[in-house]
Amino acid sequence: MSPLPKALLFDVDGTLADTERDGHRVAFNRAFAEAGLDWVWDVPLYGELLAVTGGKERMRHYVARYRPDYHPPVDYDDLIVRLHAAKTRHYTALLAESGIPLRPGVRRLLEEARRSGVRLAIVTTTTPANVSALLRHALAPDAEQWFDVIAAGDVVAAKKPAPDSYHYVLRRLGLSPPECVAFEDSENGLRAALAAGLATVVTVNEYTRSHDFHGAALVLDHLGEAGRPCRVLAGASLNGATQIDLVALGALLAGGYEKERGESREAEGQAAPSV
């Protein structure tokens, strides 16, 4: 059997839980309404806005790209900060009230990793308070302690698709890329993880299904759990397995992934190694 990975690095929004459409988007709209702004982010528009990571950056992008009619006030920078703080308040309240469940297989894999001594980390562009709220409400009251490192929000200046947050986490863990597996749901996230040299498993969602996931070790509908088999959309064959576990991830790392990934950059569409 191949050695198990030493750590699993998880993105949050879209990967641990489907938080964007019914969580972040709703919270942004509540913050805008509260501030008396006529900014309304419907479901399709929000899909376009997700191209920009980070809530503050996303609001600025919306104004620049979609609202030529809006004349920013002199204290525009402060306004963005205030709106973002209000949005965080609404988002965390929403998680506490209605909750957003973890995606299939997430709890199973996290629990398996803990039992097996495989370390866990979070690598996200979302605000730290949002991560705490999601972990507490969807996973367990003490779930923040499950993770050795939580890199969130402005911990690095350059957000995904820059690899900086992954570099930060690898440094803090004291591990090298071939010892770890990253989990992402979006093209921006995948680019960040690949640029840090990490084997990456992508679980798509409604917003990211049509993204370009070239270079991913595996692209799945979800991680799979009992009674809910996962489906491989691209990449390694699972040889009949119906869920991603540590043995499958160890095999993925041992399968000459680095070599294959280098080659696959030249040969568009090349299959990743067989798990």
| Matching residue, tokens 């205030």 | 82
Q: How far is the CB of 245 from Mg ion (least distance, A)?
A: 22
If the CB atoms of residues 12 and 26 are measured against ligand XBP, the closer one turns out to be 12
**Rule CB under 5 A: is residue 153 a binding residue for Mg ion?**
no
Q: Of 11-19, 133-141, 233-241, 264-272, which segment contacts ligand XBP by CB under 6 A?
A: 11-19
Taking residues 18 to 57 in sequence order and writing x for each that binds ligand XBP by CB under 6 A, - otherwise, the string is --x---x----------------------------xxx--
Tell me the residue number closest to Mg ion, measured at CB: 14
Q: Of 63-71, 91-99, 178-186, 210-218, which segment contacts Mg ion by CB under 5 A?
A: 178-186
Cα separations in angstroms, 202 against 12, 178, 232 = 12, 17, 10
Q: Of 4-12, 61-69, 77-85, 112-120, which segment contacts Mg ion by CB under 5 A?
A: 4-12
Taking alpha carbons only, the member of 183, 197, 148 closest to residue 169 is: 148
Q: Total binding residues for ligand XBP by CB under 6 A? A: 17
Of 14, 105, 224, 235, the residue at the interface with ligand XBP (CB under 6 A) is 14
> Of residues 179-218, which lie at the interface with Mg ion (CB under 5 A)?
185-186, 189
* Helix (H), strand (E) at residue 203: strand 199-203
Taking alpha carbons only, the member of 191, 195, 272 closest to residue 234 is: 272
- Burial grade of 63 (CB within 10 A; 0-12, 13-18, 19 or more): middle
Assess whether the previous peptide bond of 128 is cis (omega < 30° from 0). Answer: no
Q: Which does 160 bind (CB under 5 to 8 A by kind): ligand XBP, Mg ion, none?
A: ligand XBP
When computed from its CA atoms, the radius of gyration of the chain, rounded to whole angstroms, is: 19
Q: What span, in angstroms and rounded, lies between the C-alpha atoms of 8 and 39?
A: 38
Between β-strands 119-123 and 232-235, what pairing exists: parallel, antiparallel or unpaired? unpaired
Taking residues 95 to 114 in sequence order and writing x for each that binds ligand XBP by CB under 6 A, - otherwise, the string is --------------------
Q: How far is the CB of 50 from ligand XBP (least distance, A)?
A: 7
Token pair belonging to 76: 């525009």
Taking alpha carbons only, the member of 15, 24, 17 closest to residue 91 is: 24
Q: What span, in angstroms and rounded, lies between the C-alpha atoms of 29 and 44?
A: 14
Residue 150's beta-bridge partner residues? 122
Of 4, 10, 11, 238, the residue at the interface with Mg ion (CB under 5 A) is 11
Return the active site residues.
11, 13
Of 92, 124, 205, 264, the residue at the interface with ligand XBP (CB under 6 A) is 124
Q: What span, in angstroms and rounded, lies between the C-alpha atoms of 73 and 91?
A: 25
Q: What span, in angstroms and rounded, lies between the C-alpha atoms of 202 and 266?
A: 21
Tell me the residue number closest to ligand XBP, measured at CB: 55
Of 29, 92, 130, 208, the residue at the interface with ligand XBP (CB under 6 A) is 130
Binding site for ligand XBP (CB under 6 A): 11-14, 20, 24, 53-55, 87, 124-127, 130, 160, 189
Binding site for Mg ion (CB under 5 A): 11, 13-14, 185-186, 189
